[in-house]
Amino acid sequence: MLSQYNPVDIERILRQETPPPLFPPASDRAAWEAVRAAIGETAVRDLIQRAEEAAQSPIPVLPATLYLEFKRNGQREGYQEPVRLRRDRHTALTLAECLEHQGRFLDPLMDVTWAICEESSWAYPAHETELADLDHPIVDLFASLTGSQLAEMDLLLGTELDPLVGKRIRQEIDRRLITPYLTRHDHWWLYNTADREVNNWTAVCNGNVAIAAIHLEPDPARLAELLARAARSMDDYLSTFDVDGGSTEGPGYWSFGFGNYVLFAQAIEQRSNGRLPFMDGDLIRKVARFPLQSMLSPGKWVNFSDADLEAKFPGSLLAYLAERLDMPELVTLYHEQEQRAVTARTNELPWSLRGLFWRAAATPNEPVRVIPHPHDWYSGMHWMIARYDPNDPDALVLAAKAGHNGEMHNQNDVGSFIVHVNGEPVVADLGRGRYTRFYFSETRYDHFVCQSFGHSCPVPNGQMQGPLSAPKRMAGNQVGVVTDEMRGRNFYADLLEHRAEDSLDLIKMELKHAYPPAADLDSLVRSIALHREEPNGWVELVDEVTFASGPGTLASVLTTFGDAELGDGAVLLKGETGALHVAYDEQVVQPRIEQVEDVDLSLGPRDVRRVVFEFLKPQTQGTIRLSLVPVHKSSGNSDA
């Protein structure tokens, strides 16, 4: 429990310990010449070229009308993109000046730093909605990230800029971040409450406010008070993880949330000379393994809820965790990403800076690959990932979940699953929709991607899973009244069985509580299994229903981005690289294919196909059984 650390003990440690700064200032030429040698002249030239382009580019303007676009039409990109460009240029100019140290980037850096200080709000309009109230600054993800960005630039180059720039940075960070953090309780992300639970925001906001304060706050007593509050809040963040280290937000938000927790913990450990060890403990080790255990195939991860299939992780995060926790498998993931030329969060100074200092050994020329477990199970959030042959990146993988519909970044997907083969999710989770004002509002479950209709979930009597509406989103990212009908935890699965054996991996759940009363369910039991039969395994889906008051209808649905072809007693699902032969009982169900066009996803609109296997006629009790068998890439024939 991090809350064991109280302000009195923290202040005593801060006064006793005087470690060197987290990173060497640019004036320490020996340190920065060593960085140049470590990263190589090609990387140095790339960074300097990026800074030269930034120095010649006008600073993007941020008028009030652009901020109001989110309120007026729900769109985020118009304001967020120029803000991103400002931070990207600020990062490039800072690092290039540290590497070159000739002074030619100082004036452009001062200009963009001053422009950031002049922004009326550092919070995104998606999190504030209204124009900035300067008497009530909002502490959101991007306000806190801006604070650490400016604080670390000041650490590196503050003495080489006009002294009033450093004074302005300190005033703005105190006014916008430190004072509101210490004196207000309207930060929804600070603690779990009756109406709202914390998520990745808690790690990002706490972590970056704390990092900025560690760099800039001169009063040890005030800094101790802030760190003690952050420690208590981070306990709530760590409680969002499954007892086995999983996160219902998925691997991408692990990268964002837990990644910023790691920055926070490392900064505190360094400032206290190791006397505040926030990276210790068995849970931290389990959480660090999450990207290794949620992998589907190289470059692809389980993407339930608002998660990305192709998650990305800062290389510096993987390198630091591998060394700090003695986890060489994370170095393998680091090298595997390097070979795929994957980069993450390079526009943010804290991550780009650590990318220069937290590095693994040189990536080998020969291919490297993470070899996951045959079976991974998260017993708290009820995720099962079963792999037929972990040594074969094209082998069959099944990911299935039970859980509830009050999870972080929730989509109504209790009982949903993914079938991944030949490097592709043929039965797919659609992932996250495009983030707009409407996506995070009371109309969230009007979006196809958030409904159970947008997942491979059963449909009893034509009913979707609940909740059917979400709390109203208010200014400042607060929420309105939360009724019982809106509480996603009221819509859940009961886990009945989980098995991991030599011949079978299985999850079995009761789903009746995930649906509203109109579904008329006495019982709806779903079993999903990966059978480890040669040559390539197969997946079995069984839905068993008993209706409460009379005959009803049931449909078992598969969602796919691929093509679907109806045949005699089978459906062929064909993706770009993978395919599945889906067999069913013609005496029980009739399949049909429904196309949903232009589903509004994060990477752009895509067509989705729902393959619906529905009872031939209403019945009081019944069972739908599907077998999903991989199809050979070469012959086009299944192994059935």
**Residues 87-98: what's their mean pLDDT?**
98
Q: Checking DSSP bridges between strand 563-567 and strand 554-560, what pairing results, if any?
A: unpaired
- Topology of 375-630 in CATH? Beta-galactosidase; Chain A, domain 5 (2.70.98)
Alpha-carbon gap, residue 132 to 65, rounded angstroms: 12
Residue 30, pLDDT above cutoff 60: yes
State both tokens at 160. Answer: 């080489």
**Residues 131-157: what's their mean pLDDT?**
98
- pLDDT-based confidence at residue 636 (cuts at 50, 70, 90): very low
CB 5 within 8 A of CB 231: yes
pLDDT, tens only, 432-452: 999 999 999 999 999 999 999
- Size of the chain in residues: 640
State both tokens at 461. Answer: 């009597």
- pLDDT-based confidence at residue 394 (cuts at 50, 70, 90): very high
- pLDDT-based confidence at residue 581 (cuts at 50, 70, 90): very high
**Residues 173-185: what's their mean pLDDT?**
98
Mean residue pLDDT of the chain comes to 96
The 10 Å CB-count burial string (b at 16+, else e) for 233-253 is: bbbbbbebbbebbbbbbbbbb
How confident is the model at residue 246, as a pLDDT? 98
pLDDT, tens only, 520-555: 999 999 999 999 999 999 999 999 999 999 999 999
How confident is the model at residue 21, as a pLDDT? 95
**Residues 347-375: what's their mean pLDDT?**
96
Cα angle at 145 between 200 and 68, to 5 degrees?
Answer: 90
Residue 592, SS3 per DSSP: strand
How confident is the model at residue 560, as a pLDDT? 98
**Residues 110-129: what's their mean pLDDT?**
97
- pLDDT-based confidence at residue 216 (cuts at 50, 70, 90): very high
Residue 9, pLDDT above cutoff 50: yes
**Residues 550-572: what's their mean pLDDT?**
97
Alpha-carbon gap, residue 201 to 217, rounded angstroms: 22
How confident is the model at residue 640, as a pLDDT? 41
Residue 457, pLDDT above cutoff 80: yes
How confident is the model at residue 476, as a pLDDT? 82
Cα angle at 578 between 576 and 579, to 5 degrees?
Answer: 110
Question: For 104-165, what is the HEC assignment?
Answer: CCHHHHHHHHHHHHHCCCCCCHHHHCCCCCCCCCCCCHHHHHHHHHHHHHHHHHHHHCCHHH
pLDDT, tens only, 590-627: 999 999 999 999 999 999 999 999 999 999 999 999 99
Residue 638, pLDDT above cutoff 80: no
Q: What percent of the chain has pLDDT over 90?
A: 96
Question: For 10-37, what is the HEC assignment?
Answer: HHHHHHHCCCCCCCCCCCCHHHHHHHHH
- pLDDT-based confidence at residue 633 (cuts at 50, 70, 90): low
Query: Taking the model in full, what pTM does it have?
Result: 0.96
Residue 118, pLDDT above cutoff 80: yes
**Hey, which bits of 501-588 come out as E strands?**
504-510, 521-531, 538-547, 554-560, 563-567, 570-574, 579-583
How confident is the model at residue 111, as a pLDDT? 98
How confident is the model at residue 635, as a pLDDT? 44
CB 441 within 8 A of CB 463: no
How confident is the model at residue 478, as a pLDDT? 87
Q: What percent of the chain has pLDDT over 70?
A: 99
Residue 637, pLDDT above cutoff 80: no
How confident is the model at residue 194, as a pLDDT? 87
How confident is the model at residue 3, as a pLDDT? 87
Alpha-carbon gap, residue 537 to 258, rounded angstroms: 35
How confident is the model at residue 1, as a pLDDT? 77
* Domain ranges (residues) in the chain: 375-630
How confident is the model at residue 357, as a pLDDT? 97
- Cα(first)–Cα(last) distance of the chain, in Å? 52
> Where does 239-309 have alpha helices with state H?
250-253, 259-271, 282-288, 290-293
